[in-house]
Structures are given as structure tokens and as C-alpha cells.
Structure 1
Amino acid sequence: MGVRGMGEASAWARAVASAVSELRNRVGLTVQELADRIGKDPSYLYGRLNGSAPFNINDWELLARALGVHPIEIARLAAKFAADEGHEMEPTIKLDPTELSRRLQVLQAAPRTAGPEFDAAVLVDRAAEREIELTMEQWSQLRSGTAGDEVSVRVLDLVAEYTGVAAGYLTDLSDAGLAETTEAQLELRNAIREVGGESLLARSVGDVSPAALRAIAASLRAAHRGSSS
């Protein structure tokens, strides 16, 4: 992402340093405390925060854990700082296009927790309002799995927000537990829609296991069939 090894930090690396500083301030850590948390000498951290050298990939993981965020949050905030400085740097993530396509299709078919059904045109309009690059053609490519494996993090965040799911469902395809829980919740949404309980869609189901969510969905459908016969 624009980092030049161990030499002088690039514009992107300086934006990352600004993001780390912002997150450090949010949680109220001193540089010394953050250095202790990531197991580095304070001079190492100071050198990267002041732009003398870039953070490396291993640093990102350590920093994210120490700051209580996902590494993608660092990238997202860094992109904002880069844009403020006039640098067009869109954070991207490498994902399996086929699996991402499957999940996007699942989301598009499921009821949303609030508002009308999924509308790709509305999604594209929301992207434009936030200056996120997303056209109908690009959405179609993402949904069909033909867009390639480099995907905009901000696009995925927007889709997750619009459909009412955790961003990690789209940005961390390796998290099987989150995928199972999310898809069980979506199955319950579908069951609620089928039985005409739209007013229940926006209500939280709390900390319920995927198996229990699917059992609830099956019970709703069974009860609805019984009342209709």
C-alpha cells in the first residue's frame, strides 16, 4: 500500500501514522503505553509516528490488537487522512470473488432490517453521497464474481451498513463463525417476512446461536403453515 520498505515513509505511510495517532488518542494511550502493548521500543514507535519510517504489515496486526480495532479500521482512517491531504488512496482488500459473490447475493435476497427491500440503485446513490466509487456496472460485477479479487473496503462497509450485517461478514471471509451466525440471522429475517411479521425485522435477537436462530425460523414457518391450513 505505497510503503517503501524501511526508507522514508510515503504519503500513504504517513496517513497510516496519522490514523494510528488518532486511534491512540481515542483510547487514551501514551506512546510509551502503546509501545509496551505492541512489544516495541518507544523510539521505534516515535520514528514511525513522525514519518521517519513506515509501519510494516506485522506492525498493523499488533497495533490493531493494542488499539482494539480491526486492521481494516486503520486502513479506513488512513484513507480519510490521505484524502484530506489530496492523495487519492482507496483502501482495498483481497478476497475470493466467488465467495464474496455468494454472500452479496444472499444479502441482496434477504429483507433489510429497516426500510424498503434491497435496491442496488439506492445503494449506488448512497455511495455517491459519500464519495465512494460504485456504479451499477461495478455492483453487477461484484455480485456476479467477475470484479476481480481487489475490492474497496468502503464499498463493503457500505453494503454491510445498508443490509444491517456486521462488516466482517464481507471483509473477513475466513471467519466461519460470523458467516454462520449472519446467515442464520438472515434466514430468520426471511422467515419473519414470509409470515408477515415485518415489524419484527428491526428487533435484535441478542446473543442467540445460529442453530437456535434457524430453529426459530422453522417454528415460525411451521406455525404460519398451520394457521393457513
Structure 2
Amino acid sequence: MPFLSPFFVFIVSPFFVFGSAFSEDEPVTCGSVLKLQSVADNVRLHSHEVKYGSGSGQQSVTGNSNSDDVNSHWQIIGPNSEPCQRGQPVKCDSSIRFMHLQTRCFLHSHEFSAPLSRGMQEVSCFGKEGQQSDSGDHYKVMCSGDVWTQDEQIKLKHENTGNYLSISGQQFGRPISGQREVIAAPSAGHKSLWLAAEGIFIKA
């Protein structure tokens, strides 16, 4: 497959998502489909069938300023060892996985270097629902109460590396000009804060 830039190659897929609903103070639950918004940069966590042309070569994960883009939907599911029940509130300090709804791969990190930010680690979308997933897909929800609520700013700590899902502030060029780099950072700051934005939240 030919490389289209130093960082990306394309694949094609036809999968679509639907509507949205949001309620403050309500818990975020297993099985829910949502968009994660960066508090610092007001972009949504995003993936698409564009692979990194460096590092792991896995499907890329970025921040997208277009709030209507269907490639920013993620479904919350339990870790590999302990599936969570649909509608079950996500507890603070618990581990979950985020499955990209369009391509069915999992939000992932590892020790590959980030494509633009020196000293940071890459965040990718890896594996496939029902076929391949490992502990590199596990993120711990860092929140202040008993459960993650829809109006709460949270941090997501990668279980294997201890790094935090973050926006770097760097922007990509072609073929995804203007999209932000998403990284795994060794320490958490303002750029590591995320908020549940648009979504369909499953109730028990």
C-alpha cells in the first residue's frame, strides 16, 4: 500500500452512526456511544481509516474540530478480563475500553513514539471487535466521585504505560490538515482533560 504522506496511508470503509442525547449529572454507562471532547482544545477524539506512516503503522487517532463528524463516535465496553453490563455506570478508577464505532478497532497505546511530539508516545486504534484486543486497549477513568458523570472533566490513564491520553497542540498536514495530534503523555495537565460530549447514553 503506497504512503500518502510521512505519517498516513488511507483505507476505505462504509459504516455509519446515528443521533445524540446528553444529560448533565447522569452517569456515563457501559454500552454508551459518545464523543470525547478535549477541554483544552475543544476537539473531539477521532479516528478514521488512515494509518500512521511511521511508528506502529496502526490506524491513526487525532483530534477533530468538526463536532458533526461520525468518525468521532466511540463505544464504551469493559476490559478484556471483565466485560461490563450494558447500562452499568462506569466507576471512577475502573478500567474500560473505547471501541471506534465506524471501524470497530480499540483506542490503544504502546511505547512507539508519537508522530509529531518528541518524547511522547503514540495513540492508535488497534485490533478488531471480537477478534483482537489486548491490555494495551485498557484505560483507567480518573474522576472525582464514585462514578463518571456526563458533565464531569476526566483523565484517561493508559493502564500498561501509566501515560495519559492528551492533546499535544501539534497539527497534522496532508491528508488530514488541521487535525490535532493525540498522544500519551507521562504526566497529566490541562491537555489531558476530557469531557463526554454528544452521545447516546444507555440506561440500565
Verify same fold: TM over 0.5. no
- TM-score with structure 1 length normalisation? 0.22
Higher strand share: 2
Which protein has greater RCO, CA pairs closer than 8 Å, 6+ apart? 2
Q: What is the TM-score of this pair, normalised by structure 2?
A: 0.24
Q: Which has the larger radius of gyration?
A: 1
